[in-house]
């Protein structure tokens, strides 16, 4: 492999000292325009690029942000991918690279992260976050941020989270404003925080508009097409005029059940889903020839904000502990006025 030149060679070629070159490549300190040009010329001629490893060692800072993704079944990879995309962008805008630790089930990363000196700070994402990791970074005072709101064993992390409560509340209110009162909800959960929050938003909206909460319209957590299908079949017995479904797969199943029952969307029943899997959502819309109204999580923005938050933290700036991101309600063609 062709060896790349170093800063000292550039300095020699330009007839200046190493520090002058350093100042030029870092745009720091004062360098006269004349010398700057000389140095830039030498850099170009030698095809020089700074050695990031050496720089990191000298600065005691890598400008690399770590992102740990605890993958699991059920939550679609695409969901994470978009967020990762956003984190990447946010980090990049602030001059950071991203090192993603993922795809290793149930593994602990924090020792490597806090010790290896490869990352300046870390973002944790995923449902099954390794407890040891949290405790470890926390005790070491290593800068970390959560994506997803939580509180673990008394530790209050810096976190950023989609505002599921508000998002679902707004969607439900939309249905209520259209005249619906018999609104089904598929996806209750006492374990999964986002699903829990969604139900909460649903309930808040009902309460605010004096619609009586009817537990018979609410169905257990659903992750798969089959779950959604079965839940919807049961729900239809209650003759709801609208339904909110917590998950793309379940929405597909539920929609199938609606079709099988000979009902039309939105004529006979209004449907609102969540776009946790946008690709699948689009595919599905395309297939059934309908634009489902969805509650959209701005995943890229979420990731960006997470990166900014983590970097603010690791750079020692004052950083708010909690950060909620608004969801967007996509008012498409699957809801109708009663």
Partner DNA sequence: AAATATTATGTTAGCGTTAACATAATAATA
Partner DNA sequence: TATTATTATGTTAACGCTAACATAATATTT
Give the interface with a copy of itself as residue ranges (CB under 8 A): 1-2, 4, 49, 51-54, 56-57, 62, 71, 73, 76-78, 81, 84-85, 88-89, 92, 99-100, 102-104, 111, 114-118, 140-143, 224-226, 229, 249, 253, 256, 279-280, 283-284, 286-287
Give the one entry of DNA, a copy of itself, none that residue 81 binds, where binding means its C-beta sits below a cut-off of 5 to 8 angstroms depending on kind: a copy of itself
Closest Cα partner for 104 from 146, 147, 71, 66? 71
Q: Which of residues 39-58 bind DNA (CB under 7 A)?
A: 48, 50-51, 54-55, 57-58
| Interface with DNA (CB under 7 A), residue from 12, 13, 29, 152 | 29
Q: Tell me the site size for DNA, rule CB under 7 A.
A: 30
Beta carbon of residue 313, minimum distance to a copy of itself (angstroms, whole number): 11
CB nearer to DNA: pick between 30 and 103? 30
Give the one entry of a copy of itself, DNA, none that residue 8 binds, where binding means its C-beta sits below a cut-off of 5 to 8 angstroms depending on kind: DNA
> Do the Cβ atoms of 311 and 303 come closer than 8 Å?
no
Beta carbon of residue 73, minimum distance to a copy of itself (angstroms, whole number): 7
Beta carbon of residue 59, minimum distance to DNA (angstroms, whole number): 5
What is the Cα gyration radius of the chain? 26
Beta carbon of residue 143, minimum distance to DNA (angstroms, whole number): 18
- Rule CB under 7 A: is residue 34 a binding residue for DNA? yes
SS3 string, the chain, reads CCCCCCHHHHHHHHCCCHHHHHHHHHCCCCCCHHHHHHHHHHHHHHCCCCCHHHHHHHHCCCCEEEEEEECCCCCCHHHHHHHHHHHHHHHHHCCCEEEEECCCCCCCCHHHHHHCCCCCEEEEEECCCCHHHHHHHHHHCCCEEEECCCCECCECCEEEEECHHHHHHHHHHHHHHCCCCCEEEEEECCCCHHHHHHHHHHHHHHHHCCCCCCHHHEEECCCCHHHHHHHHHHHHCCCCCEEEECCHHHHHHHHHHHHHCCCCCCCCCEEEEECCCHHHHHHHHHHHCCCCEEEECCHHHHHHHHHHHHHHHHCCCCCCCEEEECCEEECCCCCCCC
- Rule CB under 7 A: is residue 32 a binding residue for DNA? yes
Give the one entry of DNA, a copy of itself, none that residue 103 binds, where binding means its C-beta sits below a cut-off of 5 to 8 angstroms depending on kind: a copy of itself
Write each residue from 129 to 168 as x if it is in contact with DNA (CB under 7 A), else as -, in one continuous string: ----------------------------------------
Tokens at residue 116, please?
A: 């290896």
CB nearer to a copy of itself: pick between 171 and 192? 192
Give the one entry of a copy of itself, DNA, none that residue 225 binds, where binding means its C-beta sits below a cut-off of 5 to 8 angstroms depending on kind: a copy of itself
| Interface with DNA (CB under 7 A), residue from 6, 214, 278, 319 | 6
Q: Please calculate the CA angle 154-109-142 and round it to the nearest 5 degrees.
A: 55
Give the one entry of DNA, a copy of itself, none that residue 148 binds, where binding means its C-beta sits below a cut-off of 5 to 8 angstroms depending on kind: none
Give the one entry of DNA, a copy of itself, none that residue 116 binds, where binding means its C-beta sits below a cut-off of 5 to 8 angstroms depending on kind: a copy of itself
Beta carbon of residue 120, minimum distance to a copy of itself (angstroms, whole number): 10
């Amino acid at each position: 492999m062709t060896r790349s030149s170093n800063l000292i060679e550039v300095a020699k070629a330009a007839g200046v000292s190493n520090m002058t070159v350093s100042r030029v490549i870092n745009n720091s300190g004062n360098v006269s325009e004349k010398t700057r040009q000389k140095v830039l010329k030498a850099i170009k001629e030698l095809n020089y690029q700074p050695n990031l490893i050496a720089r990191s060692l000298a600065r005691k800072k890598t400008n690399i942000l770590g992102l740990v993704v605890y993958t699991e079944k059920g939550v679609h990879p695409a969901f994470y991918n978009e967020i990762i995309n956003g984190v990447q962008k946010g980090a990049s805008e602030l001059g950071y690279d991203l090192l993603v630790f993922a795809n290793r089930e149930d593994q602990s990363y924090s020792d490597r992260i806090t010790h290896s000196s490869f990352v300046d700070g870390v973002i944790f994402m995923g449902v099954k976050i390794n407890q040891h990791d949290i405790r470890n970074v926390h005790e070491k005072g290593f800068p970390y941020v959560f994506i997803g709101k939580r509180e673990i064993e008394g530790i209050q992390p810096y976190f950023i989270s989609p505002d599921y409560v508000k998002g679902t509340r707004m969607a439900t209110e939309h249905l209520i404003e259209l005249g619906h009162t018999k609104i089904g909800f598929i996806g209750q959960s006492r374990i999964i925080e986002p699903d829990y929050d969604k139900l909460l938003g649903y309930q808040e909206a009902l309460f605010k508009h004096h619609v009586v909460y009817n537990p018979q319209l609410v169905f257990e957590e659903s992750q798969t097409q089959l779950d959604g299908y079965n839940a919807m079949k049961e729900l239809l017995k209650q003759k709801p005029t609208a339904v909110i479904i917590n998950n793309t797969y379940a929405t597909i199943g539920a929609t199938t059940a609606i079709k099988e029952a000979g009902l039309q969307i939105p004529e006979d029943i209004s449907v609102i889903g969540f776009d946790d899997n946008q690709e699948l959502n689009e595919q599905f819309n395309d297939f059934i020839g309908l634009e489902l109204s969805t509650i959209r999580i701005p995943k890229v923005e979420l990731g960006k904000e997470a990166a900014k938050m983590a970097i603010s933290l690791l750079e020692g700036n004052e950083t708010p502990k909690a950060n909620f991101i608004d969801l967007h309600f996509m008012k498409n063609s699957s809801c109708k006025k009663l």
